Amino acid sequence: MELFFACFVCFLGLWTPAVLAMGAKMDGNMEGGSISFETPTLDDEDTYSPFMPADLKCDACRIIAAKFNERFDKEHKNRKSLKKGGSLPESDVIDIVDQICTDPFENVGVKEINGVRRMSAPGFETADAPGVMQGGGRWPGRMREMCSAYVGELGEDELYDRWKKKSDIENYLCYGKGIRGYCKIKTKKVVPKKKEEDDRPQKKDQDSKTRAKESENLKREAENKMAAAKNKKNAEKEKQKEEKTIHTNQADTKDEL
């Protein structure tokens, strides 16, 4: 028993300094003894614009691509007729894409990691990284706007066909050209350290009104894009309905003859 107690005391003597050293390394000093995280720093554009900031578009694209991958994969696995090949009906593809782009995008926001702003979402690589996430606000709308922009530019069928080739659409959607090349452009925005006092002059009321007007114009433009994408989807559904009606009428005429 005495031997066990002596060994235990020796263990404490070796282990305690190591733990204290780890704490000092994590905290940077031994005074506070805690780790603190700051909320992401946002400028006026980040706060008021309805569009995704350039430095966050790559992460946003990858999050959207993951949603396409997850949903298409789920639909194929749940349908026995598609396990040996085949494709989803065009009307189903349109509905699935529409559901993805109108998703509430809950728990999606921006997080500051090692001084760099990153998007965070459930299942994404930054989800478990230490930091305070700022979600809600305009972030869900920005995700929906980006998703609708992809659909308007590429079309539902193209997105689905690209997924079918490799069961992964991220490389096509985020590492291509133009609207598909956000992850090829290096636009990381390093967050400056916060000053104790902001010595910048106060902005005039006129500047605030101008920003509000610009923000409203951008919002209206985004709404128009989403409306155009929705009209396109409705037009395609009507076209399919008309084709089905014509086919039925032709079949009835043939039967009468």
Residue 64 lies in a domain: yes
Closest CA to 117 of 107, 126, 104, 128: 126
Residue 71 pLDDT: 96
Residue 43 pLDDT: 75
By three-state DSSP, how is residue 245 classified?
helix
User: Distance between CA 69 and CA 163 in Å, rounded?
Assistant: 7
Residue 221 lies in a domain: no
Residue 7 pLDDT: 43
Residue 225 lies in a domain: no
Closest CA to 93 of 185, 158, 152, 42: 158
Residue 235 pLDDT: 76
Residue 184 pLDDT: 87
Degrees, nearest 5: CA angle 97-173-159: 35
Count of domains forming the chain = 1
Residue 132 lies in a domain: yes
- Owning domain of residue 154: 35-192
Residue 23 lies in a domain: no
Residue-wise pLDDT tens for the chain (257 aa)? 444 434 443 433 333 333 333 333 333 333 444 445 667 777 777 788 999 999 999 999 999 999 999 999 999 999 888 877 789 999 999 999 999 999 999 999 999 999 999 999 999 999 999 999 999 999 999 999 999 999 999 999 999 999 999 889 999 999 999 999 999 876 555 444 444 444 444 544 555 556 656 666 666 776 777 777 777 777 777 777 777 766 666 655 655 55
Residue 105 lies in a domain: yes
Question: Which region holds residue 33: left if phi is over 0, alpha if psi is between -120 and 50, else beta?
Answer: left
111: which 2 tokens?
A: 């997080």
Backbone phi and psi for residue 117, each to the nearest 5 degrees, phi listed first: -75, 135
**DSSP 8-state assignment for residue 205:** H
155: which 2 tokens?
A: 């079309």
251: which 2 tokens?
A: 């079949």
